[in-house]
Amino acid sequence: MAAGFAQAAGGYTSLEYYNENNRVTGADNIKEALVVGTKDGATDYSIKMENSQASFGNGSISQGLEVRVKQSFGPIYVGGRLGEKVSSTESFSHYAIDAGVKFPLVAGLTGDVGGRYRNAFESGHEFQSNRAHAMVSFAVTDHDSVGVRYSRAYGDDSEAKNAWRLSYTRSF
């Protein structure tokens, strides 16, 4: 249904796969996400739905939902997010602020460097983090792109993660 909305609205759908490592606990984690969005000029509106687990079929599952808005000013962008995190032990709302720069590299390659601050609205949740990322995307066709991103987050012990993300985006 979400992908149908993106197609009807002239938007996009992204599939994301993450491999995460917590630097404090040494725990590895995988995450998959679906992002559905649309752009109105320099403004990008999207919804992100994600699932996280130690490995497919192993360990407790956590889920998240975010509503996101990002505004571009030429190559610079800023954004905000509101979300809900749900796991077997807790559920809470959170917010995030993003900023970065996108720039062309060579023949269909685009770079993106940026950062994010994220925290829960109420205290008592280990969710506060600052994250830096570097990403390279390749436009396979006019409507399809793939990307690889490395990020490093700092903050509460549960959020001190290194992560690789592989993504595929289809624009309609």
pTM: 0.90
Is 105's pLDDT higher than 80?
Answer: yes
64: nearest Cα among 89, 83, 46, 45: 83
56 compared with 42, residue with greater pLDDT: 42
Is residue 1 very low, low, confident or very high in pLDDT (cuts 50, 70, 90)? low
CA-to-CA dists, residue 106 to 103, 109, 137, 145, 169, angstroms = 10, 5, 11, 14, 19
Residues 116-130, buried b or exposed e (16+ Cβ, 10 A)?
Answer: bebbbeeeebebbbe
pLDDT at 58 over 90: no
Q: Is the pLDDT of residue 3 over 90?
A: no
The pLDDT, as a whole number, for residue 10 is 78
**Measured between alpha carbons, how far is 117 from 123 in angstroms, rounded to an integer?**
16
Q: Which amino acid is at 136?
A: V
pLDDT (0 to 100) of residue 94: 97
pLDDT at 41: 93
Is a pLDDT exceeding 70 seen at residue 4?
no
- List, in sequence order, every residue forming a beta bridge with 19; answer none if it has no partner: 30, 164
Task: Give the lowest-confidence range in 43-52, 97-106, 121-130.
Answer: 121-130
Write out the two tokens for 44: 């990008």
Average pLDDT over residues 142-150: 97
Please state the φ and ψ torsions of residue 39, each to the nearest 5 degrees. Answer: -115, 140
**More confident of the two residues 21 and 3:** 21
Q: Is the pLDDT of residue 161 over 80?
A: yes
> Average pLDDT in the 77-97 region?
95
- C-alpha distances in angstroms, 99 versus 8, 125, 130? 29, 24, 12
Under 8 Å between Cβ of 140 and 158:
no
Where on the phi/psi map is residue 26: left (φ > 0), alpha (ψ -120 to 50), or beta? Answer: left
pLDDT band, very low/low/confident/very high, at 50 (cuts 50, 70, 90):
very high
Tens of pLDDT, residue by residue over 106-136, are 999 999 999 999 999 998 888 899 999 999 9
Query: What average pLDDT does range 81-104 have in this prediction?
Result: 96
